């Protein structure tokens, strides 16, 4: 019985193929935009989380007013002071920056000590990892190796200095696989960051004390903030901006989409006044008419939503690939659910008024409509 009712809904929706098709297209474009932006913001957020989280450590210390991780500066005296603090097991510094390598600008460049725990999860596929005391050596990600054709033994020019590629690594995260790792001290010299790092990762002795120690660190070092890995992304201004923009665009998509759906459904019920009269005459209740119109608007918005999600998934990844962007933008279940929910909200919002109007028509007046 459900399947037949659904069949009637689809038949009714596609009675006016052009109009319904255009409405579906409008919704698809809106949902595509929303999905694409959600993909970018959740993808970037996930990468931040991964870099910070997977090397171990309970929290991260970075500069309070830095709009971006790459612009954060934490000096070595702070590192030393933290290492002296009671309850802290270890502290390790890392640099995140970008550099021009060969013809390519903005290659993710990580500065790490050879002893850095984070380095252990970078799986070496060719050559070797960085050793303590290495100078003029670099290990590079699989993606950049493939894209630029660099091999173990090649020399790379970074900021005018020559580095020998000693190994190629793979982590599975494009953010990392599209970058290079240089010993920390050399990045500090190269980028004029003597005794400075982008962030410190801190491991606490007793995991029950993480919050207490974080508070202590923040009160002791007022220039810095101590963040859990999940909080880091939310403190990135550019990421916040992307998130806010996607929220705003989602809102606009909902409003515009609802108006489009409403317009289509109002036109549809006006044309079908007599049909509604017949349905009322044969005993359909007001709420059945209401649900009929709502089902139709939902069908339009859900079809548009699905098309939008599929296009976004294909398009965003194709664009990222074409532009050789070292980012993973996976279509997660959460993301699909969010985009779908937006499509449903839009269908309900756009359909409710026409549905209500249709259900209020008197059968007599509707029947006498020519």
Partner 1 sequence: MFLQTENLTKQFGEVQAVKSISLGIEGGEFVSIMGPSGSGKTTLLTLIGALDTPTSGEVFIDGEPLSGIKDVDAFRSRKVGFVFQFHNLIGYLTALENVEIPMHGLVSGAERRARAIDLLKVVGLGERLHHTPSQLSGGERQRVAVARALVNDPVLVLADEPTGELDSTTSMEVIQLMKKISKEKGTTFIVVTHDPEVAKKAERIIFLKDGTISRQEAVKSESVEDILALRNSAFGAQLINRKVTDPYMENLGVFKKGTLTKEGEALLSILEKAESVERD
Which one of 18, 282, 323, 333 is in contact with partner 1 (CB under 8 A)? 282
- Please, which residue, 220 or 286, has the CB nearer to partner 1? 286
Residues contacting partner 1: total by CB under 8 A? 25
359 counts as binding partner 1 under rule CB under 8 A: no
Residue 66 DSSP class? -
How far, in Å, CA of 330 to CA of 143, rounded? Answer: 17
364 counts as binding partner 1 under rule CB under 8 A: yes
86 counts as binding partner 1 under rule CB under 8 A: no
Residue 92 in 3-state DSSP?
strand
275 counts as binding partner 1 under rule CB under 8 A: yes
Stretch that binds partner 1, among 8-16, 94-102, 180-188, 216-224 (CB under 8 A): 8-16
Listed in sequence order, the residues at least 6 apart from 94 whose beta carbon sits closer than 8 Å to its beta carbon are 110, 111, 112, 116, 118, 184, 197, 198, 199, 200, 201
Scanning 116-209, the segments in alpha helix (DSSP H) are 142-148, 174-177, 184-190
User: CA torsion sign, 189 to 63 to 131 to 141?
Assistant: negative
Stretch that binds partner 1, among 47-55, 71-79, 248-256, 280-288 (CB under 8 A): 280-288
- Please, which residue, 168 or 279, has the CB nearer to partner 1? 279
Stretch that binds partner 1, among 2-10, 63-71, 200-208, 320-328 (CB under 8 A): 2-10
The least distance separating partner 1 from the CB of residue 284, rounded to whole angstroms, comes to: 7
Which one of 64, 123, 128, 286 is in contact with partner 1 (CB under 8 A)? 286
Stretch that binds partner 1, among 4-12, 142-150, 296-304, 311-319 (CB under 8 A): 4-12
Stretch that binds partner 1, among 164-172, 270-278, 294-302, 309-317 (CB under 8 A): 270-278
How far, in Å, CA of 46 to CA of 278, rounded? Answer: 55
Question: What φ, ψ does residue 200 adopt, rounded to 5°?
Answer: -115, 135
Residues paired with 183 in a beta bridge: 112
295 counts as binding partner 1 under rule CB under 8 A: no
148 counts as binding partner 1 under rule CB under 8 A: no
Contact predicate 294/12, CB 8 Å: no
155 counts as binding partner 1 under rule CB under 8 A: no
- CA angle, residues 279, 280, 285, in degrees to nearest 5: 110
154 counts as binding partner 1 under rule CB under 8 A: no
Rg (CA), the chain: 28
341 counts as binding partner 1 under rule CB under 8 A: no
103 counts as binding partner 1 under rule CB under 8 A: no
17 counts as binding partner 1 under rule CB under 8 A: no
4 counts as binding partner 1 under rule CB under 8 A: yes
Nearest Cα to 43, choosing from 289, 331, 322? Answer: 331
Question: What φ, ψ does residue 128 adopt, rounded to 5°?
Answer: -135, 175
Which one of 24, 66, 269, 279 is in contact with partner 1 (CB under 8 A)? 279
64 counts as binding partner 1 under rule CB under 8 A: no
Nearest Cα to 47, choosing from 216, 219, 178, 201? Answer: 178
363 counts as binding partner 1 under rule CB under 8 A: yes
Kindly state the helix (H) or strand (E) to which residue 337 belongs, with its residue range: helix 333-360
284 counts as binding partner 1 under rule CB under 8 A: yes
How far, in Å, CA of 45 to CA of 102, rounded? Answer: 28
- Please, which residue, 15 or 223, has the CB nearer to partner 1? 15
Scanning 236-332, the segments in alpha helix (DSSP H) are 237-271, 273-281, 286-322
How far, in Å, CA of 95 to CA of 108, rounded? Answer: 10
288 counts as binding partner 1 under rule CB under 8 A: yes
Q: Which residues bind partner 1 (CB under 8 A)?
A: 1, 3-5, 8, 11-12, 15, 274-275, 278-286, 288, 362-364, 367, 370
């Amino acid at each position: 019985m459900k399947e037949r009712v659904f069949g009637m809904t689809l038949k009714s929706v596609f009675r006016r193929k052009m109009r319904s098709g255009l409405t579906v297209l409008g919704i698809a474009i809106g949902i595509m935009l929303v999905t694409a932006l959600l993909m970018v913001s959740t993808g970037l957020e996930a990468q931040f989380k991964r870099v910070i989280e997977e090397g171990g450590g309970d929290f991260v210390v970075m500069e309070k007013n830095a709009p971006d991780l790459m612009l954060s500066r934490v000096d070595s005296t702070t590192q030393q002071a933290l290492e002296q603090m009671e309850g802290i097991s270890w502290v390790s510094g890392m640099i995140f920056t970008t550099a021009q390598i060969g013809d390519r600008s903005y290659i993710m460049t990580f500065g790490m000590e050879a002893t850095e725990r984070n380095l252990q999860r970078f799986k070496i596929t060719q050559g070797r990892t960085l050793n303590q005391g290495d100078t003029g050596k670099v290990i590079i990600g699989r993606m950049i190796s493939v894209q630029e054709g660099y091999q173990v033994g090649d020399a790379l020019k970074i900021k005018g200095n020559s580095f020998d590629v000693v190994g190629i690594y793979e982590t599975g995260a494009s953010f990392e696989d599209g970058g290079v790792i240089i010993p920390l001290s050399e990045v500090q010299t190269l980028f004029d960051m003597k005794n400075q790092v982008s962030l410190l990762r801190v491991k606490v002795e007793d995991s029950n004390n993480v919050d207490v120690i974080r508070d202590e660190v923040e009160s002791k070092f007022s220039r810095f903030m101590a963040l859990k890995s999940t909080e880091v992304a939310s403190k990135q201004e550019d990421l916040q901006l992307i998130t806010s923009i996607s929220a705003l665009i989602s809102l606009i998509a909902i409003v515009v989409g609802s108006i489009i759906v409403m317009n289509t459904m109002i036109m549809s019920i006006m044309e079908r006044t007599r049909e509604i009269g017949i349905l009322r005459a044969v005993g359909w209740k007001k709420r059945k008419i209401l649900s009929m119109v709502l089902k139709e608007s939902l069908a339009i918005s859900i079809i548009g939503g699905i098309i939008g999600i599929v296009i976004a998934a294909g398009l965003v990844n194709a664009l990222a690939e074409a532009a050789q962007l070292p980012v993973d933008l996976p279509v997660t279940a959460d993301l699909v659910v969010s985009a779908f929910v937006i499509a449903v909200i839009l269908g309900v919002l756009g359909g409710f008024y026409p549905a209500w109007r249709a259900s209020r028509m008197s059968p007599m007046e509707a029947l006498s409509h020519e």
